[in-house]
Structure 1
Amino acid sequence: MDAASEALKKHREWQGKLETVNKMPIETADDLSIAYTPGVAAPCLEIARDPSLSYVYTGRGHTIAVISDGSAVLGLGNIGPEAGMPVMEGKCVLFKALSGLDAVPLVLDTQDTDRLVDVISALAPSFGGINLEDIAAPRCFEVERRLKEQLDIPVFHDDQHGTAIVVSAALENALKLAKKENPRIVINGAGSAGCAIARLLLDRGQKDVILVDRQGILTPDMELTSGQRALIDRLNPSGRTGTLQDALAGADVLIGVSAGHIVSQDMIRSMNEKPIVFAMANPTPEIEPEDAAAAGAYIIGTGRSDHPNQINNLLAFPGIFKGALDAGATEINDAMKQAAVSAISSCIPEEDLRPDHIIVSALTPGVADRVARAVAQAAVQSGVVRHA
């Protein structure tokens, strides 16, 4: 199938992937009186007395806002809010299909940090959670940080944390299968996803993580973003310098969240025995899977659905938000992210792991529910819920 041509055809046919469907009939005067005036005044007054009842008398408790400024859409870059809308609509469709949550796509015509924070904060009373999407680094770090400080609902930048959670789950299984302990891990791409992956892997006990961008191996003397600066003292314990090629010599793991075709077979050959390669740039991976395999890669994952071991955020965000909203969580904290990693990795029993099967498919029934249960439990245990 020519996916691009078919997508154009179907999007033109659909004219949007979402529609509003009423839960109640509006056929009689009584229907009108209950759903709207005068009856609707009763729940309005109850909510005015206690705003938390908005979770009881409206759809807020099962509705997510999917919000972007269009500055980092897929691998397409800063293509603007209107062009980002098909992606936001698609994300909302996935929320409904996999978690049962309703989601509303919103694209904002500003890339100013202060204005983004102000607008999203003003929208918050309509929603149970905020999914930030396709906002470029380093702005995404500041927007998320400030919103989390201001709001009492979950705020989650999926490009950072969703990616980090699924990569961590896949890597946990890959390391078990390859029987690697204390691996040297190279992350190529030091934007929002790369920094979040590094942080979560370090938090899960990995000791030797090297972060690489266009400048080469990140070191403290370089000009760094706020996200990179916050990590730099925890990275690269052996003090390596140089290029991506230098970083990969003797490494155990390559995690690519960068650009297509920038890793050579010689780089893979220079890695340690049984190298693990997650080439996740989309739509073109850092190295083609067949080339990585020919160079000796033991386990290969990509972000694509047409290769084994698809490492996809879809495994994370539906269940994470479902669990957060089910528990009445006021945020998505580190404990909840860690719970999501463990839930996803445990979907495949250790005895069933294979080089071409180290991460469960996002379409496997029950994955989102499994993640949701773990996340909800972690929210309760870490004390970030409105109610017990």
Structure 2
Amino acid sequence: MAIKIRREDALNYHTQGSPGKIEVVPTKPLSSQMDLALAYSPGVAEPCKEIEADVENVYKYTAKGNLIGVITNGTAVLGLGDIGPEASKPVMEGKGVLFKKFAGIDVFDIEINEKDPKKLIEIIRSLEPTFGGINLEDIKAPECFEIERELKKQMNIPVMHDDQHGTAIISGAALLNALEIVEKDITKIKLVVNGAGASAVSCTRFYMSLGVKRENLVMCDKEGAIRNDRPDLDDIKKEFSTDRDIHTLSDALKDADVFLGLSAGNIVNQDQIKLMAPNPIVFALANPDPEIPYELAIEAREDLIMATGRSDHPNQVNNVLGFPYIFRGALDVRATAINEEMKLAAAKAIAKLAKEPVPDIVNKAYGESKLGFGRMYLIPKPLDPRLITTIAPAVAKAAMESGVAKFPIKDWDAYELELQERIGIDQRLMSVVIARAKKDPKRVVFAEADNRKILKAAQIIKDEKIGNPILLGNREKILSLIQDNSLDLSNVSIIDPLEEKEMIQKFTSILFEKRQRKGMSISEASRLVTQRNYFGALMVETGAADAFISGLTRDYPKTILPSLHSIGVKKGVKRVAGMYIMNTDKGPFFFADATVNLDPTAEELVEIIGLTAEAVKFFNMEPRIAILSYSNFGSAQGDIPAKTAKATALAKAKYPDLIIEGEMQANVAINEEIQRDMYPFSKLIGKKANTLIFPDLSSGNIAYKLLSELGNAEAIGPILLGMNKPVHILQLGSSIREIVNMVAIAVVDAQTNDSI
């Protein structure tokens, strides 16, 4: 089911913090007078003179080589139509975010108040000195064809109208693979296209470049088949008109092999699908509703292969599979254009990738065990980390072979590493976790449901199908807050512990049995189980819920104790630990312990290392562990260096298969250059540390909080390690986003717990 977006939530998302979705961040230090002098006057004059002497130096001394202009005049925005350039800006900012997330490309979005194609062409052409490439967006047909065509002629940088070519490239890849599965020759298939806008026209042209014959296609619009004898045809429609005795969409679909819809939802019925040839291919790409609902199409034809634009059905045709990586490859060879050869290379690379074994990280992200090439998997999933290292090199090679590359790549292995490092290929960690959670949502009980943030997060969890919230607290107060915040939680379970007499009695017996030899009386147990942190933990312990979330408004020690009493630790675990995921521009780092153990011994550090390593593997990453100190391999004396050196030796002996190094200072742990120069024996050389073990609670806690505030890193956690069942404690004052992230982790934790 598609995600339900509320108007208030969408507006709040765009206004919270700084308005909009983007900002400009300097890439050079600006902390001293010398820095300022180098960045601006007088130092900036030197690169200016170098560029004046050789204009190609602009790529060496400025950001041009990694900067795309996302440009529109707002005349065809999403399904909203001509809403104007100002109203289109949120969409263009969103496109910039996708460029950055998936390909590490910077974007300036430019909204131009001009509808005259010739004037718009001149404005965009004049921007060439600024950008390494131009992504045209949401410009209406037929003007978009002229604008792109003329800009390609007049500019010496890549230009692509993604509305035209993005869908063509992705669906073209799907078509190639679908035809291979049904064993049909592309030169002989009968193609029906419904829609005559920019995407439909570009897709049809692209399919012809793949091999579809002109005489074998029929294009329809809202008036029916586009025929030669129709008086209303413009030059574009004349390009695809037919003189055959075909007048309606039903006429066209008779014995057709492929239907491509880029029109409107729910305009094709089951009877029309039944008219198609054996093993029909249906690409119903209208959004948000396809031309025929997926379920109806599959019901009509068992032999049908189908793709839509939706993420809740197999074979999603999503432009994000293409444009970030196409521009990445074009920029990296300084291509002067994005030509047909480059688009074909992208489509073929996407098609080929779908035939390769699917990594576990992708299977787990989508809750699948056997994703593989076939009718339900024609093209890769958007979260596949191999997309950038597959498509960008293919596009770059095609640019080089077709003669439009000014800066050819020589070392392809080095280029692949550069691509991975450019985006921090593991930055999608939470996207993968959330996608995996959605495949098998679990019951998550919130102890602090009388809090606005918790209720907002519960709404997101419910709407996005990440989990099934259970709200714990005073019923009247929760219902009042739901109403005051215009939330829709009508189908969500609300439990007031004071109303649950049978559960109180049951939980009292369980808690007393667990703690009677720890000094707890039956009356104390009866009193404690009415408290939400005990009640919620006991719900998980008894199977009434799958995971427990608390800690937003209470200190960590007070929050964790009821779960330790009620649920306890895993077999063989002596103590729990806390881990933070720090999402940084250099990728994710795992910090432990920053929340639980005040001053662990060397032996206790070893246990923390084991728990943390298992948690890192849970996120489908290899733990590369650095044990931190203020000393490097015995360079300084003291209790901490002695403890961490001993912990390192013990851990290496206990976990011989893990990459473990220490004791070492934090900067050395993450700086391979220092290690190569000073400590060439380090096991972390070539295996950059991603898991940092702190010697005590103070250092870990200080480090993660400083990095969060000063390093612009996102802290996810703390993730509680070693509990017998899924319990996760929020950071005091967590944001709604942080709560949602933690719930996703808890759900996947519960999924894993079920499988054990």
What's the counterpart of residue 315 of structure 2?
A: 309
Secondary structure of the 1:328 match is coil
Return the match for 2:165 from 137, 158, 161: 161
C-alpha displacement of 1:55: 1.1
Deviations along 1:257-277, whole A, 9 cap, x unmatched?
Answer: 011111111111111122211
Identify the match of residue 3 of structure 1 among 5, 25, 30: 5
Could you say which residue in structure 2 is the equivalent of 1:174?
A: 178
Bigger Cα displacement from structure 2, 164-173 vs 45-54: 45-54
Pairwise CA distance, 1:179: 2.3
Deviates further, 328-337 or 267-276: 267-276
Alpha-carbon separation, structure 2, partners of 1:313 and 1:4 = 24
Structure 2 contact 281–306 (Cα < 8 Å) conserved: yes
Does residue 27 of structure 2 align to residue 27 of structure 1?
Answer: no
Quote how far apart the aligned CAs of 1:118 are.
1.2
For residue 224 of structure 2, the aligned residue among 216, 226, 229 is: 216
Equivalent position amino acid for 2:261 in 1:
G
* Amino acid of the structure 1 residue aligned with 2:68: I
Contact 2:172 2:347 in 1 (8 A): yes
Name the residue aligned to 2:375: 355
Q: CA deviation at 1:23?
A: 0.9
The residue identity in structure 2 corresponding to 1:228 is K
Letter in 2 for 1:323: G
Query: What is the CA–CA distance in structure 2 between the aligned matches of 1:350 and 1:277, rounded to whole Å?
Result: 24
Once the two structures are TM-superposed, the CA of residue 350 in structure 1 deviates from its matched residue by 7.4
Matched, 1:285 2:290: yes
Amino acid at match of 1:10: Y
Structure-2 residue corresponding to 1:374: 394
Matches within 5 A, 1:1-388: 1-5=3-7, 6-13=9-16, 15-181=19-185, 182-207=188-213, 208-222=216-230, 223-229=232-238, 231-232=239-240, 239-296=244-301, 298-349=304-355, 352-388=372-408
Alignment CA distance shift 1:332-1:34 (3 Å)? same
- Name which structure has the greater RCO, CA cutoff 8 Å, separation 6+: 1
Does the Cα contact within 8 Å between 1:282 and 1:304 map onto a contact in 2?
A: yes
Normalised by the size of structure 1, how large is the TM-score? 0.95
Question: Are the counterparts in 2 of residues 217 and 240 from structure 1 also a CA contact under 8 Å?
Answer: no
Q: How far apart, CA to CA, are the structure 2 residues paired with 1:302 and 1:9? A: 30
Deviates more, 1:7-16 or 1:192-201: 7-16
Contact 2:332/2:407 (CA < 8 Å) preserved in 1? no
User: 1:232-287, CA deviations, whole angstroms, 9 ceiling, x for partnerless residues?
Assistant: 3xx75x83420111111111111100111111111111111222111111112111
Write the distance in 2 (CA, Å) between the matches of 1:330 and 1:131: 14
Contact 2:181 2:375 survives alignment (8 Å): yes
Deviates more, 1:152-161 or 1:210-219: 210-219
Letter in 2 for 1:214: K
Q: Give 3-state SS (helix, strand or coil) of 1:104's partner.
A: strand
Write the distance in 1 (CA, Å) between the matches of 2:236 and 2:292: 26
Paired with 1:46 and 1:254, the residues of 2 have a C-alpha distance of: 55
Match for 1:366: what amino acid? R
C-alpha contact 1:269 1:296 (8 A) present in aligned 2:
yes
Counterpart of 1:345 in 2: which secondary structure?
A: helix
Question: How far apart, in 1, do the equivalents of 2:335 and 2:6 lie?
Answer: 39
- In structure 2, the CA distance between the partners of 1:240 and 1:347, relative to structure 1 (3 Å rule), is farther
Q: Deviation digits for residues 86-131 of structure 1, max 9, x if unmatched?
A: 1111111111111111111111112111121111111121000000
SS of 2:193 mapped into structure 1: strand
**1:61 and 1:349 mapped to 2: Cα distance?**
33
Cα distance in 1, alignment partners of residues 90 and 389 from structure 2: 26
Paired residue secondary structure (2:128): helix
The verdict on how the C-alpha distance between 1:8 and 1:275 changes in structure 2, with shifts beyond 3 A counting, is farther
Task: Return the offset for 1:338.
Answer: 0.6
- Which amino acid is 2:189 matched to? P
CA distance in 2, matches of 1:240, 1:146: 36
Distance, in Å, in 1 between the alignment partners of 2:164 and 2:305 is 23
Bigger mean CA offset, 328-337 vs 105-114 = 105-114
Distance in 2 of aligned mates of 1:306 and 1:110: 38
Number of equivalent positions = 384
- Asked if 2 retains the 8 angstrom alpha-carbon contact of 1:65 and 1:103, the reply is yes
Asked if 1 retains the 8 angstrom alpha-carbon contact of 2:191 and 2:259, the reply is yes
Report the alpha carbon displacement of residue 364 of structure 1 after superposing the two structures with TM.
0.9
The RMSD of aligned alpha carbons is 1.7
> Structure 1 CA distance, aligned partners of 2:254 and 2:64?
51
Go from structure 1 to structure 2 and tell me whether the alpha carbon gap of 1:356 and 1:4 turns closer, same or farther (over 3 Å shift): farther
- Partners of 2:227 and 2:247 within 8 A in 1: no
Contact 1:240 1:247 in 2 (8 A): no
Distance across 2 between alignment mates of 1:350 and 1:201: 23
> For 2:40 and 2:245, how far apart are their aligned partners in 1?
66
After superposition, the Cα gap between the structure-2 partners of 1:100 and 1:240, relative to the gap in structure 1 and judged at 3 Å, is farther
Give the structure with higher Rg (CA).
2
